[in-house]
């Protein structure tokens, strides 16, 4: 994909997320790896519904901001995923409502999402709930680095999910699956929902080559 096409794709997908209520106002940020090893990143303080392909922040392969508007203050989150997961081609961070709501009812640690469907297991693997950090705090990136590349998705308590994918479409699809699973968890909370059994989870993990045990 050319860089021009990638710029358009990033903005199209971001607008789709915004228009369907998965993030709001000027919340959320998105980045994608360019063909030369650089990054395209959504600017700080911008709405996902109004991103301009020509104004995306551009970083070169050395991590220097070389063009476009000033990037999101959540860059430590993005660079932590790129630096620790060699397969990461894009990172998306949203303030999606059901995910945040579920984080208010959970304690930081492993397995933020229950295995309610095979799709969450397939697209996300295990999701770690990280503690609360101030927005823009570099400690968020340090917490992701502490996972040593073993997670493609994390949930920031009282804040929102962050997901890395092989490309921008995969990252967006996965973070939507995270939000949908969080919504299911809330809808069935206290009702004794029938989650996948350990054996069923293992079949999904083995069949679809999911990172699960790390």
Q: Which carries the bigger pLDDT value, residue 214 or residue 11?
A: 11
DSSP 105: T
Q: Given the DSSP bridges, would you call strands 128-130 and 153-156 parallel, antiparallel or unpaired?
A: parallel
Q: What is the mean pLDDT of residues 174-182?
A: 98
Q: pTM (2 decimals)?
A: 0.96
Q: Is the pLDDT of residue 109 over 90?
A: no
Average pLDDT, the chain: 96
Tokens representing 146 are 């502490």
Residue pair 183/156 in contact by the 8 Å Cβ criterion: no
Evaluate if residue 19 carries a pLDDT over 70. Answer: yes
Starting at the earlier edge strand, list the strands of the sheet with 65-67: 65-67, 57-59, 39-41, 29-33, 90-93, 160-165, 153-156, 128-130
Whether pLDDT at 208 is above 70: yes
What separation in angstroms does the CA of 209 have from each of 106, 121, 201, 212?
Answer: 28, 10, 12, 9
3-state secondary structure 20-86: CCCCCCCCCEEEEECCCCCEEECECCCCHHHCCHHHCEEECCCCCEEECCCECCCHHHHHHHHHHCC
pLDDT of res. 23: 96
- Mean pLDDT, residues 34-51: 97
* Residue 214 scores a pLDDT above 80: no
Question: 58-108 pLDDT, tens per residue?
Answer: 999 999 999 999 999 999 999 999 999 999 999 999 999 999 999 999 999
Mean pLDDT, range 181-197, rounded to an integer? 96
* pLDDT average, residue stretch 156-182: 98
Active site residue ranges: 119
Tell me which H or E stretch contains 167: none
Mean pLDDT on 130-153: 96
Instruction: For the chain, give the percent of residues with pLDDT over 90.
Output: 95
pLDDT at 46: 96
Q: What is the reported pLDDT for 209? A: 94
What distance in Å separates the CA atoms of residue 102 and residue 93, rounded to the nearest whole number?
16
């Amino acid at each position: 994909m050319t860089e021009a096409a990638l710029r358009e794709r990033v903005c199209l997908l971001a607008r789709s997320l915004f228009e369907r209520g998965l993030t709001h106002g000027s919340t959320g940020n998105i980045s994608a790896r360019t063909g030369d090893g650089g990054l395209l990143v959504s600017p700080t303080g911008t709405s996902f519904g109004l991103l301009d392909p020509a104004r995306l922040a551009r970083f070169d392969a050395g991590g220097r901001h070389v063009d476009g508007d000033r990037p999101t203050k959540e860059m430590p989150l993005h660079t932590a995923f790129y630096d620790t997961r060699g397969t990461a081609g894009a990172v998306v961070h949203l303030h999606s409502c059901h995910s945040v709501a579920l984080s208010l009812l959970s304690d930081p640690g492993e397995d933020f999402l229950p295995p309610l469907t095979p799709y969450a297991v397939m697209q996300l693997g295990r999701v770690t709930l990280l503690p609360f950090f101030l927005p823009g705090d570099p400690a968020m990136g340090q917490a992701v680095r502490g996972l040593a590349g073993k997670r493609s998705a994390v949930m920031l308590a009282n804040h929102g999910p962050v997901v890395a994918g092989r490309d921008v479409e995969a990252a967006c699809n996965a973070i939507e699956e995270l939000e949908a699973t969080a919504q299911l968890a809330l809808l069935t909370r206290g009702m004794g929902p029938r989650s996948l059994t350990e054996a069923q989870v293992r079949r999904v993990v083995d069949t679809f080559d999911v990172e699960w045990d790390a």
